[in-house]
């Protein structure tokens, strides 16, 4: 069954980290800094959170085998992802506040000339 765009909830990393249970089993869209590594695929609030190893400011991301190789060119960059969030599945060794089963992933590109700080 295809998910309609109207059924996808836009959320921030801050919302997911602060209240993961609120988004449990919901289809969401979120922007963050993605780092992929063996047993450590995660989406971070900021690049600095990855660099400083602040794991609590991230969520685990589940990629299928068919998604892993194409997504590797987006490693260590900001991305927008869609998928089903789980507050009960917490990734490798339960180290994350929740996980996101990815259905769609793409680079987050900002056109700075058209960006407005209150419209995102």
pLDDT in tens, the chain (120 residues): 455 667 899 999 999 999 999 999 999 999 999 999 887 899 999 999 999 999 899 999 988 888 888 788 999 999 999 999 999 886 666 676 789 999 999 999 877 666 555 454
Q: Give the pLDDT score at 19.
A: 95
Question: Distance between CA atoms of 24 and 3, rounded to whole angstroms?
Answer: 16
Of the candidates 68, 63, 56, which has an alpha carbon nearest to the alpha carbon of residue 98?
A: 56
Q: Give the pLDDT score at 118.
A: 45
57 and 70 Cβ atoms separated by less than 8 Å: no
Q: Give the pLDDT score at 120.
A: 46
């Amino acid at each position: 069954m295809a998910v309609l765009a109207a059924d996808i909830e836009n959320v921030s990393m801050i919302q997911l980290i602060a209240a993961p249970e609120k988004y449990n089993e919901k289809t969401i869209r979120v922007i963050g800094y993605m780092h992929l590594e063996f047993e450590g695929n995660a989406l971070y609030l900021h690049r600095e959170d990855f660099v400083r190893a602040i794991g609590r400011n991230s969520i685990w991301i589940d990629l299928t085998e068919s998604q892993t190789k194409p997504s590797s060119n987006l490693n260590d960059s900001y991305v927008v992802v869609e998928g089903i969030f789980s507050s009960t599945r917490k990734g490798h060794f339960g180290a994350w506040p929740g996980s996101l089963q990815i259905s769609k992933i793409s680079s987050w590109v900002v056109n700075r000339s058209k960006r407005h700080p209150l419209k995102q």
